[in-house]
Amino acid sequence: MPVPMLRTLVTGGAGFLGSNLTLKLLSEGRQVTVLDDLCTGFASNIPEGVRFIQADVCEPLVGEYDEIYHLACAASPDKYQAEPLQTLRTNFIGTSNVLELARRCGASVLFTSTSEVYGDPRVCPQVESYWGNVNSFGPRSCYDEGKRVSESLCYTYSERYQVRIRIARIFNTYGPRMAPDDGRVVSNFVVQALQGKSLTVYGDGSQTRSLCYVDDLIRGLVCLMHAQGANLEAPVNLGNPHEMSVKEIAEKVLELSASRSQIAYRPLPQDDPTRRCPDIQRARGWLGWEPEVSVEKGLAATIDYFRGQLT
């Protein structure tokens, strides 16, 4: 069946996830507008055929859309902590603007929340009904609390104004189109391995993450936006439930890139979560979604991508 020509806005569409999402939406025949202030994204990420508005989501938004994917916000701890007030504003003012726009034009909104709403979790794997263990008074709070207030805004616009909302709680995602200097674990390790530099493991590397390949994640976002049924405005975890220690991630990157780099241990950043692993029963049951790409396959594709970028 042909897909109707939906007018779609992607905020943060010049970033890692945003540009991968934009490509997917274009391939499905959508009319896509990207709004991005290029604070962490790149104009070169925006594909042909996309209308580009270079603007901060904190400025008032105009336009007519059927659906809005709201991704705008620095997502790497290095980047969001460098500009904490902007991170807070993007979440409170930016998400308010997106929801106001949606209310005016009747658009659906998919908000990209985060596993960070669980903070340093006391429950593993993290299920959506777990309320989390977040430090509101620390370096990660601008992002964690920002995303939590954004979820609260989504809830309120849904209850008060019947805006159709979807909330994806995204766990660590990696793959092509990540910026080499993004600062996150996979991009750092792959770039270091390819450049023959030591892989910087923070702490003793026993903290865990669960890595989702970008194609799986994007498929989940589109699925969630279009899913019909009761309760779908509630948050849904999207991530890969295969939990690995950071040290294991480093070793896997070394093996798959055939690098002779060493591992160098660095201090653990404050409030770095000890464990992170999604419970994805909700996504499985409600969306019929689960990740398909193994960490070996996904990391190999990511290593190939960075090899091309670095030469």
Q: Which residues bind ligand UDP (CB under 6 A)?
A: 76-77, 172, 184-185, 188, 200-202, 207, 209, 246, 269, 272
List 143, 157, 174, 213, catalytic entry: 143
**Nearest distance, CB of residue 240 and ligand UDP, angstroms:** 13
* Closest CA relative to residue 23, chosen from 35, 39, 36, 10: 10
Measured from the CB atom, the residue of 30 and 252 that comes closer to ligand UDP is 252
Measured from the CB atom, the residue of 23 and 246 that comes closer to ligand UDP is 246
Q: Which tokens belong to 167?
A: 């909330």
**Nearest distance, CB of residue 269 and ligand UDP, angstroms:** 6
Measured CA to CA, the distance from residue 261 to residue 74 in angstroms comes to 29
Measured CA to CA, the distance from residue 167 to residue 182 in angstroms comes to 24
Measured from the CB atom, the residue of 30 and 209 that comes closer to ligand UDP is 209
**Nearest distance, CB of residue 90 and ligand UDP, angstroms:** 16
**Nearest distance, CB of residue 195 and ligand UDP, angstroms:** 13
Question: Quick check: is 143 catalytic?
Answer: yes
Q: How many helices and strands (H and E) does the chain possess?
A: 10, 13
17 with 173: CB under 8 angstroms? yes
91 with 70: CB under 8 angstroms? no
In the bound state, the residue with its beta carbon closest to ligand UDP is 184
- Paired sense of beta strands 243-245 and 31-36, if any: unpaired
Measured from the CB atom, the residue of 211 and 223 that comes closer to ligand UDP is 211
* Planar angle of CA 49, 50, 54, nearest 5 degrees: 145
Which helix (H) or strand (E) segment holds residue 137: the answer is none
The catalytic residue positions are: 143
